[in-house]
A and B are shown apart, each in its own frame.
Chain A
Amino acid sequence: MSAARASGRPRKAAKPTRAHAITAPQIRWLGALLIAAQLPQAVHLPIWVALIGFTLVLVRLALLERNRVRPHAKPARIPSWALVVFAIAAAGALKVSFGYLLGREPSVAFLYILVGIKFLETRTTRDGALLCCLACFLLMTPFLYSQSLFAAVAALPALLIVGATLDSLNRIPTDSAMHAPWRETVQRSGIMLLQGIPIAVLLFLLFPRLASPLWGLPADYRATTGLSDRMSPGQISDLSLSDTVAFRVDFEGPVPAPSQRYWRGPVLTRFDGRSWTAARAESQGELARYDAPSIAYTVALEPHDKPWLFALDVPAALPRVPRSPIGEPGSEIGTLTRDQRLLARTPVAQPLRYAQISVLRDRYPGRPDLDVSPNTQLPRSNNRTLAFARGLRSTHPSDRAYISAVLRWFNTESFVYTLTPPLAGRDPVDFFLFEERRGFCEHYASAFVVLLRAAGIPARIVTGYQGGEINPRGEYMIVRHSDAHAWAEALLDGEWQRFDPTAAVAPSRIEMGLGGALPTGAPVPFLARLDIGWLKNVRLVWDAVNHDWRRNVIGYNHDRQRSLWRDLDIDPPKLPWIVAVVAAFITLWGTGVLGFMMWTRNRRNDRALVLWNLLTRRLAHAGLPRHCHEGPMAFARRAAQRWPRFGIAFAAIGEAFSALRYGAMATARERDALVATLERAIEVLPPAGALRTTT
């Protein structure tokens, strides 16, 4: 008795998810997962970090291969202490490479290396599950660098493999069936991922987003391109070399003409003879009332780590949450300064969308009592310029006449508009105006303001973007850093009025953008050129797709969520409502998915088995239940005895079913023929109710 039990005992299995020694297929799955999670991250890391991470994973896979080729050799193992030493060395190297360790980027790099180290010492399925969780986290880190469509697609393979790896880790290895085929594993994990998508979408839409970060975003030493509150010679021309997008604009009405596209940014007042800087503090400004038609649009601003928001000259309302009514309390996301700049409450560290209204005017009311003295300040340098201004002023006593004379002078003298001006010396304005006469918009604006101030006219520099390209694929405007521009404004008759000295030198810059203003052959950023043909076309299509992606997926934030609830007429969203919506949805989803699984199971199942089950159920209803010990042939015989009239049908059923289930079937055609026989034989039988009364 006891001997019989010992041999016939089914394999003893420990409780599920106890730690088992990890098997080779599980290691391979983990390796695949790690590679898939590392790949999207690797491009954002220093090359040596990327290579070390991959190498660690590959070493483990190579060791596995060695163990397979030489199964009786002592399995190669790297001692844990060596790995700890390696981890510390890696941390040290990261510190040297990045200059700091406790920041976002070195942490990501360390995690990237750490998963490789952990993989080398993964010995049990429990380690494997932990590694799986680490890989999930690693899957998220590339989004700190880029949230493009491409980054999203790059994460998909790893997502699929997460499920497959967990599936494989959960398999209790047995002697006979080591592992499910990989195709089946991937298929099951893919199905589960697909089934989970409704939940993911629901959570994505409804899970409360944060209006502001919980903990301070660490200063990340990230040099973002963009305008700053300081302008030294050469700064904007550097910026102009970048094709990077500054922001995108969706206009509600007609798009303004190119010469009216002045996107107002930082205003620079203080001049030290070389650099311009913004005034220290700007007091709260008031929106002026204009009786000109206004223009409404939505700006999708790329993060630039600075507080300023851009608007067309001149803002007529405060920036607010898209699609929220004007003047609604709490919907405004920025403030206005007295020099008509818009400021966000915190530096823009994440993509931001805001609705904005502007009036296309080149002037707005100033406050002569406050504005004059800070805007006429000049250092004692650039003496030739000052002397020239005094001379010009003596012949043009009227402010307007003087300004016209200056602009005319720019226009008639041999000034050259170029991206690569020579480096200036001690008095850059003198050097520019009287020696080189080659410069970029910043040089012209700077010289212009100095000339005005020297004549006692209050003037200052406005930086921002001028222009923007309409993407015909998406009917929106792209403003790039290559559109960065500097112009000037002067206080005349109590109003600040815009003057663009660059337009006097190179009018085509204003009308056609940088590519139109620079001579052929000058190093113009690729996308700023006017004629590139299909390649530019492709990139515009790609940008349109990305814009939609950003607008609808990446840009989905706290504010958009609010407006979603508003569209559902549930505003503000109350907790019972959210719970009710979510609960109803989850119930619906669970029922749907389970129902779908039952349905596909029945369809996918052996057709013969389905028919047989239906038949046995019908006969049981008719009073002839199948005994559990009874094979199909025996049951068919018994049925034939009970209903002799259908004897032939039952015999056919019994034979066809046992041949299908237990016979060796050569071809699919044979199978189909037998299934057809089975089906037809079952069709012959009357329903259960009729069977019960027949003999």
Chain B
Amino acid sequence: MSAIPTPARWSELLARLRQRTFRTSPGDRDAVVLRHSRIYILPTKRGWTMIATLLTMLLASLNYALALGVGVTFLLTGLLAAALLHTFRNLAGIEVTPLAAGETFAGGHVAFTLALHGGAATRTQVTLAAAGATATGDVPAGAALTLTLDVAAPLRGNVALGRVTLLSDFPLGLWRGWAYVHFPIHGIAYPAVEIGAPPLPRSYGGADALAAGRGDDNDLAGLREFQRGDPPQRIAWKAVARGAGWYTKEFEGAGGGGPIALAWNELPPSLATEARLSRLAAWILAAERAARPFALTLPGIALPARQGRDHRRQALTALALYSDEYRR
């Protein structure tokens, strides 16, 4: 290898340096332990004010040849320097683990949960900040602190957490220490739900008429073990109250009615893309509430008629990630 890097190698080195310094791309695959190479420390505004005060005091002391004034100024400088070390120590060794990324509808907030482990020491007033959201807490010694960042999601689609800044100005507020971590995690924002959407389209196969007289909660077919995400109105509360455990009611015919077909192409042609997606999202939620299976057909995507949390999520995700390009 030549001693002088080629221009291509230069730009590669530069990019690596930028990544190392600012963590601009999501390069942290695993839990990150903050070491000195990641931690930056600079004075806060309060710190600068203090430094300016100390400089003034120093100048006055030197001019009036006040040895004690100089002494007091330098003792405070020592305090400032020691505070720097404490700020560093408060951050060094923290382990940051991404735990979960949430889901929401466009216009809401995606909750990202991260865990901080401090090891044997208490870490005081550690703030996580990413994409305009902040959360602060103390990490107890030997335990973890989970913090949730609510990141605003104005549009549908994937919501990346982006670069997270971990910062603290403990103990005196004179120094701010910070470190960047960048995990490749993202939550999802489903299309905004249309308010006042028309009623669900009729089910295919004439099952609708059959269902009309029965309502939702007739013909209990049995109980199955509760799974996270089951709608609360279908939990067998009586069983819970008896202490028998958590069960979910299942209805005959896998729902309160026949399966519904939700299809992009059957919506009025006047509707724009986002309005269509919003209406479909509203219908998916309505079908969920009515405990009826539904099939979803989008250009390029077809989900068979099913029911349940995973199906709903799959359908909403398909809506969230829908792109007009699929139509071509």
Contacts and interface: CB of A to CB of B under 8 A. Distances in A.
Interface of A: 1-2, 5, 8-17, 126, 129-130, 132-133, 136-137, 139-140, 143-144, 147, 151-152, 155, 159, 162-163, 166-167, 169-172, 188-189, 191-193, 195-201, 203-204, 207, 209-210, 213-215, 217, 349-351, 553-557, 586, 589-590, 593-594, 597-598, 601-602, 605-606, 609-610, 613, 628, 661
B169 interface: yes
B103 A137 contact: no
Given A140-B61, A556-B67, A594-B89, A16 B44 contact: yes
Nearest to A5: B111
B108 interface: yes
B64 A199 contact: no
A10 B137 contact: yes
Given A17-B169, A597-B89, A140 B67 contact: no
Interface in B154-204: 167-174, 176
B10 interface: no
Q: Which 3 A-B pairs have the closest CB atoms?
A: A196-B78, A13-B136, A170-B173
Interface stretch (B49-57, B234-242, B249-257, B320-328): B49-57
Interface stretch (B119-127, B219-227, B261-269, B294-302): B119-127
Contact of B63 (A1, A166, A213, A598): A213
A605 B142 CA distance: 10
23 contacts: A1-B102, A5-B102, A8-B148, A13-B127, A16-B168, A17-B44, A129-B49, A130-B49, A140-B61, A143-B66, A159-B79, A162-B79, A166-B173, A166-B174, A195-B82, A207-B70, A209-B65, A210-B65, A557-B65, A590-B85, A593-B82, A601-B120, A602-B120
A129 B141 contact: no
A192 B79 contact: yes
A166 B173 CA distance: 7
A350 B54 CA distance: 22
Interface string B92-126: 00000000001110001101000000011100010
A144 B77 contact: no
Given A350-B64, A609-B120, A16 B125 contact: yes
Indicate the member of A130, A199, A217, A589 with the most B CB atoms within 10 Å.
Answer: A199
B189 to A, nearest CB: 12
Contacts of A350: 64-65
Contacts of B64: 144, 213, 217, 350
Contacts of A590: 85
Contacts of A349: 65
Contact of B75 (A17, A188, A197, A553): A197
Contacts of B83: 163, 192
B176 to A, nearest CB: 7
A601 B121 contact: yes
A139 B65 CA distance: 16
Contacts of B134: 12-15
Contacts of B65: 209-210, 213, 349-351, 557
B171 A196 contact: no
B174 A199 contact: no
B51 to A, nearest CB: 10
Given A13-B134, A598-B89, 7 more contacts: A15-B134, A143-B69, A147-B68, A155-B72, A196-B79, A213-B65, A217-B63
B148 to A, nearest CB: 6
Given A16-B169, A188-B171, A198 B78 contact: yes
B147 interface: yes
Contact of A594 (B62, B88, B103, B169): B88
A133 B127 CA distance: 26
Contacts of A188: 86, 171
B148 A129 contact: no
Nearest to A166: B172
A162 B75 CA distance: 11
Contacts of B81: 196, 199, 586, 589
A147 to B, nearest CB: 5
A207 B46 contact: no
B67 A10 contact: no
Contacts, number: 221
Given A144-B66, A213-B64, A610 B79 contact: no
B59 interface: yes
A597 B88 CA distance: 11
B18 interface: no
Contacts of A210: 62-63, 65
Contact of A155 (B68, B146, B170): B68
B92 to A, nearest CB: 9
Given A15-B129, A196-B82, A605-B141, A136 B67 contact: no
Given A214-B59, A554-B68, A9 B169 contact: no
Nearest to A16: B169
Given A136-B54, A170-B172, A609 B62 contact: no
A610 B76 CA distance: 35
Contacts of B54: 136
Contact of A13 (B80, B109, B120, B135): B135
Contacts of A130: 49
A2 B67 contact: no
Which of B45, B76, B78, B104 counts the most chain A CB atoms within 10 A?
B78
A167 B78 contact: no
Given A13-B127, A166-B172, A199-B77, A613 B66 contact: no
A133 B129 CA distance: 29
Contacts of B288: none
B60 interface: yes
Contact of B72 (A17, A140, A207, A606): A140
A512 B82 CA distance: 55
Nearest to B76: A136
B284 to A, nearest CB: 14
A463 B69 CA distance: 35
Contacts of A201: 74
Contacts of A554: 67-68
A197 B147 contact: no
B71 interface: yes
A605 B121 CA distance: 8
A367 B135 CA distance: 88
B73 interface: yes
Contact of B147 (A10, A139, A140, A155): A10
A27 B69 CA distance: 26
Contacts of A133: 49-50, 52-53
Nearest to B52: A133
A31 B46 CA distance: 19
B150 A5 contact: yes
Nearest to B61: A140
B69 A203 contact: no
Contacts of A166: 46, 172-174
Contacts of A126: 46
Contacts of B127: 13, 15-16
Most-contacted residue by chain A among B66, B144, B173 (CB, 10 A): B173
A192 B86 contact: yes
B69 A140 contact: yes
A137 B57 contact: yes
